[in-house]
Amino acid sequence: MEKMALLGDEAVALGAVHGGVSVAYGYPGTPSTEIIEYIQRFHQQRPLAVWCTNEKTAYEEALGASYVGRRALVTMKHVGLNVAADPFINSALLNIRGGLVVVVADDPGMHSSQNEQDSRFYADFAKILCLEPSNQQEAYDMTRDAFDLSERFQIPVMVRITTRLAHSRSGVNPSPPKAENPLLSQVDPSGWALLPAFARKQYAQLLSKQKGLQTFTEQSPYNRLSFPGKGDPSSIPFGVITAGIGKNYYLENLDSLGKELPHLHIGAYPLPVEKIRKLAASVNRILVIEEGMPFIETCLRGVLPHGIQISGKLDQTLPLAGELEPDLVRKALGLQPREGVPLDSSFPLPPRPPQLCQGCPHGDTYASIKNILKELPEAVITSDIGCYALGAVPPLAIPETIVCMGASVSMAVGAAEAGKKHTVAVIGDSTFLHSGITPLIDAVARNVPITVVILDNGTVAMTGGQETILPTGNLPALVRGLGVDPAHVITIEAHRRYEKENAEILRKEIQYPGVSVVIAVRECLETARKKKSQKEIVE
């Protein structure tokens, strides 16, 4: 097969397709979104690749496919794994039938996320294998291998990537595709019912697998230990452990270093303890270069004998927060900064903070809300994760809280029940379906005086315009079905020409002493442009 130039996300997707995956599930979230999109674009029939309501449902649907013998892929960003944590942790106790691979894209530097959590901790907590590619070729190879490993050990396998790998492009040499697993004609339910009596046995079985997992990672080609071929061992200043794309930044500086160092690269977890100890036996200090949190560095303190100095993020040799990059690693290696062209301080670059698109329907809805805040200065405005979160920054500066998916509704309930009058939750249509329905049920059950403003632009806009699960126009029926009084389920057109009328509707609903829902409808400008351009191409 010919070499292909692929994004890291695309390499993962192609690795899954060539690995015999039958179904792929996910919820859009940067930097993981392109994985499902690539499979959808190039494989219309099989494998099936679909967006789900949230990461939990995606994971559970993948479990169902695995149960009947098919290979299944589930994708999400790091905070999405929090949503899927319940089935994810429990699935480690199941007797996995078809290979089950979860690809999690972490976001060091928080380019499009609310935290920097590191998914390797989840894999370690669940006691499963985790593979971490350092380049696009490994992203392809590891995803292929992950399905085989999942079936070999009968556990889910995690592939952990980060933003810089997910969204950079490089050459990949594909291998011949594997066939799909056959659908099991007779399904064996043993090991799939986690009642306490059964789960205790399954947990004991998971613990018994750990020795095999450890043996695999010690022998894995993804964990490579190398020593300098020549030279005086006493002249070696320290050893290096790299993980993921940290290896690339280390190799980029190797010529400047002028010598080889004892080097262990880790691409498969659990940690290869014996290789780590072998490295430590040859040096007095180890520098750990890993993307994300200091996972390896923390673990080393329980592996290495006293007297070995460990450097990395915990001692500030490398920054504890943010992405790695070559110059940071260069400094950690003891090298002088590279010479560059200094910026002219007399012409500073102007800041370019993110903002809503000009003419965005969310901005028009916020304009109506801003109108009534003058009369209700004590109002609390909670918001959520999505494009509309940008309304929290100037010039709008309206939402006061942004925590996680669905929290706008839940926090509005809490604020209202604590005694605050005029609480308003602002949430997008896709986010409402993801996590906003259940807290709205709480509000209805207790008749909490809140107003939920659902911004229905018909798409998952912030991640590139994916289709929402429920088409525009169906939300009112859903909300009424949850028990909200039909007289207080109101649809408005999110347009500036209706700003005064919409403000009056919102004013009345905010002052209503019960649950009210206002659905502001207008298509996202970007998806409207895409549809128009696609139509012009067809014509």
Equal fold, 4-219 vs 224-332? yes
CA angle 362/364/368 to nearest 5° reads 115
Evaluate whether 72 touches 129 at the Cβ level (below 8 Å): no
Superfamily the domain 4-219 falls into: Thiamin diphosphate (ThDP)-binding fold, Pyr/PP domains (3.40.50.970)
443 band by pLDDT with thresholds 50, 70 and 90: very high
Average pLDDT, integer, range 120-128: 98
The answer on pLDDT for 264 being more than 70 is: yes
361-416 pLDDT tens trace: 999 999 999 999 888 888 999 999 999 999 998 889 999 999 999 999 999 999 99
The answer on pLDDT for 465 being more than 90 is: no
The answer on pLDDT for 172 being more than 80 is: yes
533 band by pLDDT with thresholds 50, 70 and 90: confident
Three-state DSSP at 239 gives: strand
Residue with tokens 């294998």: 129
Neighbours of 113 (CB within 10 A): 21
CA angle 225/227/230 to nearest 5° reads 160
The pTM for the full model equals: 0.93
| Structural domain spans, the chain | 4-219, 224-332, 361-528
Residue 336 is classified by DSSP as P
For 152, counting Cβ atoms within 10 Å of its Cβ (0-12 exposed, 13-18 middle, 19+ buried), the class is middle
319-376 pLDDT tens trace: 999 999 999 999 999 998 887 766 666 777 777 778 898 889 999 999 999 999 888 8
The pLDDT of residue 350 = 78
228 band by pLDDT with thresholds 50, 70 and 90: confident
536 band by pLDDT with thresholds 50, 70 and 90: low
Domain spanning 361-528, CATH class: alpha beta
Q: Give the residue from 216, 209, 255, 205 showing the smallest Cα distance to 131.
A: 216
> Quick check: bond before 270 cis, omega within 30?
yes
Residue with tokens 């149960």: 67
Three-state DSSP at 224 gives: strand
The pLDDT of residue 345 = 67
Evaluate whether 171 touches 145 at the Cβ level (below 8 Å): no
Tell me the Cα Rg of the chain: 26
The pLDDT of residue 235 = 63
Neighbours of 477 (CB within 10 A): 11
Lowest-confidence pick of 175-184, 235-244, 409-418, 501-510:
235-244
- 224-332 maps to which CATH number? 3.40.50.920
Q: How many helices (H) and strands (E) does the chain have?
A: 21, 21
Residues listed for the chain: 539
Average pLDDT, integer, range 199-215: 97
The answer on pLDDT for 57 being more than 60 is: yes
Mean pLDDT of the chain: 93
CA distance 199 to 64: 18
128 band by pLDDT with thresholds 50, 70 and 90: very high
CA distance 538 to 437: 38
